[in-house]
Structure 1
């Protein structure tokens, strides 16, 4: 029979077969989740599976999360979670070992708020019950006191630059026997699960800030403690103020122009400054010249490419690209040049060659000569 949360082991008897009484609030439906009953398991000696249960009500029905020492517990064969129709929330911990000791919290959340209740699990080794030569580590193997070792950072948390409003994750890897208790702090104050989330997978511990704000900037510490010692690493989180990537609120439009005229291609962009504007025709990058005039009004976002004298060879697709530190955006348009088609005709000479006569004025100087040309006609 599983150990019922809230009942000391030395009081287990046949009365445990009956359902324990849980206080009920007079109203079954509330706008904010609340705890009707909770239980504390003071210590565990085995061989039963420790069980935590509480009753939580809320409207709409709240989502239920379980945490150990502030870190969310994923549902698995080692952490069985149940939510009954009578609003009883249950966490069962099969195959208990020392690393599962800690403070367990049931958190209920719905759109109107949240409620939590916590209980402490203390695991005491009893070799007569467990049939082991020593305590267990996380993988279920036993170790002797001589095998215990203090926490050690295999990979320290690194400095991070986060963008305001985006998620920020900082991870590290910590070794130690028994597995250490890990806490996170900011500017000397320990963090709680109200402001952030904590995850653990094996030896990897992660701090998660779901929606980073400017006040999250500061110096953080990850601290690991077990009976053999303590280890701590510092790191810094910087928060970059959120900015807007470029968006063309007025894109380029296809344009038709007469051959030999002046044409202007215009668009309008908005986004965080500074902004860089580039123009291209197909894959050719365009630069300001006597043929192309370019302008960008930073205050209004108006962009313009002016082709001073349009010719047939100017036909094609033009592209305007806007870039800033938060992203880039492009807009394209087709330019069509119209004009009279040239009349085909056979080749003809419009400026004929002229005869050339050279008179040498000094026979001893081959470079001295007078040149005279005349029209053979």
Structure 2
């Protein structure tokens, strides 16, 4: 009985001892990535469990090992498996290894330290950004930093755009550019771009001015224009305005030619992009009233009707035949000023 009891007691003691011994285990067994702010103390945590309590040591990116209780001007190891980097900078970024060891085991884990870079906005316009009413306007906010900065825009009315989105008047693109569609005077004001990451943030205020002016015709054609048949005629009509005005001409037959839809009328009229109306080969049918109109979405301006009387001239670019003799009349002469034909003399045809 005594021997049996002794053997049982020894077995129980051995079992208890084995239960008490545990190899080291990390409370977070996964490798980690830490973003440290420049100049701000950062603590790396290597919490570990085991029996007996494991000894924790750290290997720095340069290969140096620190055990517990070590303190330098740059690093401090704590009693619970921590490593504090007093003033992180790019020289202290890299791969740190935490090792835990006791009598029954050894484990390691990796912690990658990146020293963040506060965002720096690279695009800074000089003075207000000027847009044109009715056209799209892009406000750029390109930034750099580590980790990659996120961009948000605050509009003049106070609303905030924080993520890329499409299909609206204000569109935030992936690169941080804010697109204002169909700008108007209501879009003027201060726009604030904010680039932020874990290391900090930077902001930029962009004043926006929208230019808009109703059209004003600056080069008006005369009230009446006289021409001769066949001699090309130009009617000029230039206008200022923001956005650029569309220039159109109303023809005597009430048809309209526009610079937005350039082309040729049913007769000999052609409209140039500048707003000049060209009548290539004037004929009596081209006589009448012509009206120029300049228009944008802010208003319009127009000329009084330009009257083109029926041509008073006629071409004499023809040859007169009489009794087999030929004499060419002088081209483009007035009816009353044409020279009289000479006496029929000279070379007979045939």
TM bucket (normalised to shorter chain) is 0.3 to 0.5
TM-score, normalisation: structure 2: 0.37
TM-score, normalisation: structure 1: 0.34
